Amino acid sequence: MLTALRKRLLPCGAALAVVTLLGAPAQPALAQSGFGEDDIAKLVDGLKDGTLPAGLASAECQIGFEDEADYDDEVREFMAAFLEVPDDLALKAFCDAMIRSIMEGNLTKEALILVSQGEEDRETAFEVGRFIRVVYFAHDRATLIAAPGTRR
């Protein structure tokens, strides 16, 4: 389950965010083969210093997912259930939370590099789990802020 999830969501999301920074069209091969540490550094630095607008990064992430061959109803349904949003909002919610997590410093260059490499070791598995939690809680915080006075 973890391997399938990582292969279908995590490298894809991180790679597509990097593609945003580079201004290139989304390329499924990029998500599967990994990408350079310099690209990840540029993405993180651009989001943190404001030279890469978060809205643009999130929008391009969404477009990239939609263009990705592995993005299908199963992935969308997983994202929707995981983030507790309707199916049609799942991709936006996931990309927004991932980009916000980078901007807040909760997803670091080092963690994104490790996750993008696709290794099958304990350290990578730990970072994959951390990535999933960080994205979930970034979305959860944004949801609570957007709807003050509500309780879960």
Residue 145: what pLDDT?
A: 65
Residue 109 has pLDDT above 50, yes or no: yes
Spatial CA neighbour of 106 closest among 79, 133, 140, 145:
133
| pLDDT tens profile 128-147 | 889 889 999 999 877 766 65
If 0-12 CB within 10 Å is exposed, 13-18 middle and 19+ buried, where does residue 74 land? exposed
Residue 18: what pLDDT?
A: 42
Residue 138: what pLDDT?
A: 92
Q: How confident is the model at residue 25 (pLDDT cuts 50, 70, 90)?
A: very low
CA dihedral 39, 19, 13, 148 (to 10 degrees): 100
Q: How confident is the model at residue 125 (pLDDT cuts 50, 70, 90)?
A: confident
Residue 57: what pLDDT?
A: 85
Q: Across residues 76-95, what is the average pLDDT?
A: 90
| pLDDT tens profile 54-85 | 998 888 778 877 877 677 788 888 889 999 99
pTM equals 0.69
Mean residue pLDDT across the chain: 74
What is the rounded CA–CA span in Å between residue 94 and residue 63? 12
Task: Reduce the DSSP state of residue 83 to 3 states and report it.
Answer: helix
Domain boundaries along the sequence of the chain: 2-146
Residue 144: what pLDDT?
A: 63
Spatial CA neighbour of 36 closest among 15, 7, 58:
15
